[in-house]
Each structure stands twice: as structure tokens, then as C-alpha cells.
Structure 1
């Protein structure tokens, strides 16, 4: 049996373990180790006397590869981008972004869901992880949608779909990992995801309006906001867009050479949002929660890698 066939069998086994409820990282680790043993054993003609040798070599390889993969300096930007998102949440910037989107867009059929999509797109521009984006807006948007009579499944689906925008809109942790795998420039690949991400947000919004128009009870519109209230909501949401512009200019300066690497851009962005959070009244309990949430999500991503 050649390595391709072994890889297909092992991949099928990994998917089965995931379906049965095993966590992705552990299923991948087990499948990878079994695959290594199988490949090395196949090289020796599948002789039982060589199984111990294959097991020893596979375990040594499995011990070296994880370290070599996660010790890449490029991956150091993942925790900084995740930290930006959680700091923005605990500083109240995320709720301000959602409130602004709600006041401007909620009058549409399914308007609160559309507001959620555009707010997740804005938040994705400062948060590098889909999990963080979905988790944050599950706390903010779903209660408001349910309070005015939205369908539960529809509300949850909107937040889940909106969270995926963080996989495209820079800074994206997934694109960073992909750039390392295909050996491409991280900064250019991050910027390449912006237009597809923005287009996806518009497509999601159109689909939501269409669904809410056909099925009236799925997502009722929300009205009653004056123009004064709409404009009054903008200043509180502007800091997030300021951070996005700073990061983009830092990593990819259109007027000349870049001012720094994506890693440095993430660090600068995290520091700026940290200062904003302090200015808006964030204290040690909120900062501790942001750091803990960042650590948990970073460990999960690195474990999967």
C-alpha cells in the first residue's frame, strides 16, 4: 500500500473520530501517529518483526514535527490579533459597533441579523479568529434578536455564518496558517482576503433580507431610530476602524515600503486597543478575562496546527 492510500484511510479514520465526538486536535494527532507508523511499516514490507522499528521512528518523528511547526515566528501574530478582538469586546467597542449597525440597518426585513453580519465583518477586521468573533456576537446579538421575536435557529445561524468572515477579512489566523503552508507572503495574503470577505458580508446580508421578506416571522424589522440617534452612534464605533487602518498601513503602506511586519502590526494594534480600553474604563477583571480568553483560543489553534 502506497503512502497516498494510507493517507486516505487515515484521513477517513480521523473524520470518523471527529464525528464520534473526539476533539479535532486529538483526532488529528492520533490519525497522524497511526499514519506515520503505517507508512514506515509499509516501507519494511509490513513485516511483524519490523513493527517495533516503525513504531520507534514514527514516535520520534511525531515528537519533532509539532515543535518545528509551531516554532515559526510568523505564528506569533496569531495571539496578538486574537487579543485585539477580546480587548475590543471587554472595552465595549464591539457593542458600540453593533449598536451603530443596528441603528442604521435594523429597519430592513431581518435588519437586526443584517446588522449582526456587518458588525461581525467590522469586528473581524480587528480579530483574527472566527471562534472569537462568533463567541463575542453570540453574547451580544443573539439575546437582542430573540428579544424581538427572531427565530432561534435563524439567529444562531446568522452569528455562526457571520463569524466565518474572520477567516477572510484581515487579520485572519487561518490565512496566516495557510500562508505558512504554501510559503507565501503573509502580509499580501492577508490583504488579498479583504475584498472576498467584504463581498461575502454583502451576500450574507442579501440572503438574510430575502429570507426575512419571504418568511415574515423569521426576522422582523426594527424601527424607531431618528437620524440624530444614528449619527450619535458613529463616534463610539470609529475607534475599531481607526485600528484597522493603522494595521493595514503598518503592514502594507500603499505610499511606500511597509513600516513593519504583520507580527509588529498585530502588536501595535493590540497596544492601541489596550489604551482605548483603559480610556473607556476597562479594569483588571476585564483585562484578566481578555488575556485568559486569548490564551485559551491560542492554545486551541496551536494544538490543531
Structure 2
């Protein structure tokens, strides 16, 4: 990526973020993380309270990029075929016909994902990793862009299933929207909660441009000293007393992908250590499996990751290639 391409990337990124901000007020950082996740070809896990705008966020991103969106309400009786689709025999033609499930969309909102059984949750593993669905031995691509925005309610745990580590590892980021501040709340109330605002959002970028931006972000330069910093951060998570399982290589690669998009969104064609520090908690904290005793004592993965970021020194000079 050259400086001119970085400026073009940052301009388009800002247009998408600004468009989404028209319906999600007072949450610019959360929106930037969500758009970064999409352009890094990853998936987003939102752990937040009901009514904070999770569904609106997914719909607004899909509309901003001329994409399609769908919403899957995860319940204990939801079947894998309800997510991926099903093959049905057509008596008129004498052939089996595949009927696509709601997973075939640009932006898929998996609402309260932890309420579905592990069997149904496992239906997402392949599509989140490879952007395709296999039904009855036949594979179907879901297209590009493709992003799953899954939600969890951090308060009500009755009737829920804990997400398996393999699925948590497939989410590029985990973050929260939270409640808006007073000023943003006043602006929201002044609109009267008008629903049409979120359904009439204009597209500001095409899906082909999204694919181009994703490819362009992969060419953002990263110094060897920054790679070393990422390696030291992830290695540090594996030696802590409170952590039973640290960050995997998949997590380190996720941080690399996200940092490239984040740097380009700021108009840079290279990654700096501050990009890593900014994204480390969102990209890595949810991948930590804490020791049961530490969890019982109230230790949070976010706090552990923040401690790691504060204790591992960033590079101060370039390393020779």
C-alpha cells in the first residue's frame, strides 16, 4: 500500500463509519471496531445488554455497503438446518433442491448465540472459518463480504450454553456497545426513536469496494519489531497464573489482520505499536481461558489482557530486516 491508497482507504472507511453513526449515536469507537472487523474479514462478538443497538448496528453496516442482512434468533430448539439451510426433494423435477438458510447474507446477526445448543452452534464453525456451508456433501459459498455479529446477554445466564473455545477463537473481536452518554441520549430522544431512520440508510460503498479494501489492507507494511511485539504479547498470556489457556497463533494472526486495517483507516500504510495496543484487548481477551479459581475470585479476562499490554514493553526502534 502506498500513501495515496492509504488516503483513499481512510476516506472510504470514514464514510462508512459516519453513515453508521447516523443511527448509532455516541459510539464511534465501537463502530470503528465493527467496520475494522468486517474489512479484516472477521466476525464480531458483542456482549451487551438488551436495547443497546446491536441489531441496528448490524443492519446499518449491511446497508452502508450495499449488502444484505439477516437476523437469527438463537433458541434452545434451533436446529443446524435452521441456520445453514436444507435440501428438499422437488417432486415436479425429481431432483433435490437446496434452500438457503439465513446464514447466506452479507451481515448476519446471531442474536443471543449462547442460547442455542452446542450442536447448533457448531453449524457456524465452518462458515465462520471458510465462508462456505456444506450440506449433504455439497459446499455452497456465502459470498463476500461476509460477517457474523453475534450477541450475548451478560446478565441472564439461565438456559444458556457457554460458547466452546473453538467458536470463541473464530471471532476476530469481542467488544461492547454499552449505553450512550448523556449528550448522545438527548439526541436519540430528540429523534423520537424513529424506526425508519435505520431502514432508510443509504449505501456509501459497494460490496466490490469492500473486497478491494480488504485486499488492499493485506498489503499494509508491518515492521519485524512489531511482529516481535505481537509475539511477546501472545506469549505472555500463556505464562500467567490466572490463565489456563493463553492466546493461540490464530489469535496472533487475527491481531495482525485487524492492525493492518486499523492503520489504513487512519491513513497510514504501515502499522505502529500503538495500533497493536489499541486492538489487543478487543482481539485477544476473549480467547483467554481463565483458571476456575481465578474466575471464582472475580478475575476478568479483559483486566488480565490489560495487565499484559501494560507489562510488555512496545518496541522503541526498528529491528534489522
TM-score bucket (shorter structure): under 0.3
**Structure 1-normalised TM-score?**
0.25
**Structure 2-normalised TM-score?**
0.24
Q: Which has the higher helix share?
A: 1
Q: Which has the higher strand share?
A: 2
